[in-house]
Structure 1
């Protein structure tokens, strides 16, 4: 029970930790040049922190930046418009960039970010997501690294929220009850 509501676990801490280690190994197999990891705020902050530490264990030393993009504003459905609320400070020209986000759903936010960073001269722009909902795509964009394929449910935990609640949960789940 959290905040008088039950959260049903979809992916527990152990499954998440194992998948993060595997994702770091997958990233480490790429021919990387001057890697810049960009965490898309707010939902990806826990995923990004765990993955960056796992990348360190794979002998990678990425620079880390944060970008705050939003297509949801205060709702639970994408508005269709992406806004840059906070941009990165580092140059991307000639670098490999790994964008990390919590969930790939409509694809609008990640397509926007990928196009923006490519236009700024990134050598390569890759996408890593904790969750992917393949049936929800509004624009064509694919993730290079996917933690889990997720059913079409509104999920919380592991950085993801509903009305700024449940981000702190160490697992990914679905809120049940009122």
Structure 2
């Protein structure tokens, strides 16, 4: 088995930068949601690492649930959205923090926000680890953004390519050979 980090052309965001920014985001969330009935909703599966680190840093009572939404196949281009897991918690009249790994076209967040709005939360705020403004098709502002990144396909820290590379501690761009399957 080869080292998955060997397939990375360059690191965009280091492990230390991620750690520092997650702490900063958690502090912002704490300030904004103090005294509120907070429900954190994570979108599976790419947000798993980010979400786990973020909620451990938030020093507030909160409830945690997940929605499954798939918009990527084995490649790098979006396809139709499929909801693969529904919420178990009731979010009516509660403050929702929707956490996702990456705000790309905005298609996924738009669909999830629309679905959540139908459940009558008090408010929905969004928190994304990464934002690619260059690819935005839907006007979806993120309330909390970890990092703005260029329009490149990235992996690591929960983000995958063909279900690989999620366990890398940093965020990087794959070498061309890894994407084409020749490596």
TM-score, structure 2 as length reference: 0.90
Per the alignment, residue 49 of structure 1 pairs with 52
Paired residue total: 174
In 2, Cα distance between equivalents of 1:5 and 1:16: 20
Give distance in 2, aligned partners of 1:98 and 1:7.
33
Distance in 2, matches of 1:14 and 1:75, equals 28
Q: 1:12 to 1:110 in 2, by over 3 A?
A: same
For residues 63 and 149 of structure 1, the distance between their equivalents in structure 2, rounded to whole angstroms, comes to: 28
The answer as to whether partners of 1:10 and 1:173 remain within 8 angstroms in 2 is yes
Q: Please state how far the C-alpha of 1:31 moved relative to its aligned partner.
A: 4.0
Whole-angstrom CA distance in 2 between matches of 1:87 and 1:157: 25
Q: Which residue is equivalent to 2:117?
A: 118
- What corresponds to 1:93 in structure 2? 92
Q: In the aligned structure 1, how far is the partner of 2:114 from the partner of 2:88?
A: 17
Give the structure 2 partner of residue 19 of structure 1: 21
Alignment of 1:1-178 (within 5 A): 1-2=3-4, 5-32=7-34, 33-55=36-58, 59-79=59-79, 81-178=80-177
Report the aligned-residue RMSD.
Answer: 1.4
Task: Please give the secondary structure, in 1, of the residue aligned with 2:19.
Answer: helix
Query: What is the distance in 1 between the residues matched to 2:150 and 2:98?
Result: 22
Unaligned runs of 5+ in 1: none
Paired residue secondary structure (1:82):
strand
* Runs of at least 5 residues in structure 2 that lack an aligned partner in the other structure: 178-183
What does the per-residue CA deviation read over 1:58-94, in whole Å, with 9 as the maximum and x for residues that have no partner?
Answer: x212111111102223332112x32211111010100
1:81-139 per-position Cα deviation (integer Å, ceiling 9, x unaligned): 32211111010100001111110001011011111111110000011000000111111
SS at match of 2:125: strand
Distance 1:128 1:62 in 2: 15
